[in-house]
Amino acid sequence: MIKEEKPTEELFFDSGKGKYEVTKLAIEWIKVKKSEDDYRKLSQADLLDKAIRDVLSGEATYEKIEEINKKREAAKEAKQEENATN
């Protein structure tokens, strides 16, 4: 069975979030997710649509963005330490 997606407008009104909040969070979400395969393969229009849908569905949050950034920073520091010891 194919899951039919709701129109973006319906998701927006159901979310109760303001358009500026959605836009800002979607941009931040794209910045942290753009290197992942699911996002890298998308056109710009599809990328923006997916990010907005992620925000409106609650998948994308400031907390999740912070968590992803912390994990990346920790991995980067670990790699730098590893390179320093070699």
DSSP-derived secondary structure letter, 58 = T
Q: CA nearest 54: which of 37, 72, 70, 38?
A: 38
Q: CA nearest 74: which of 84, 82, 64?
A: 82
Residue 3 pLDDT:
54
Query: Helix H segments across the chain?
Result: 8-15, 19-33, 37-40, 44-57, 62-85
Mean pLDDT of 3-30: 81
Compare 85 and 71 and report the one with higher pLDDT: 71
pLDDT at 2 over 60: no
Across the chain, mean pLDDT equals 85
pLDDT in tens, 44-62: 999 988 999 899 888 999 9
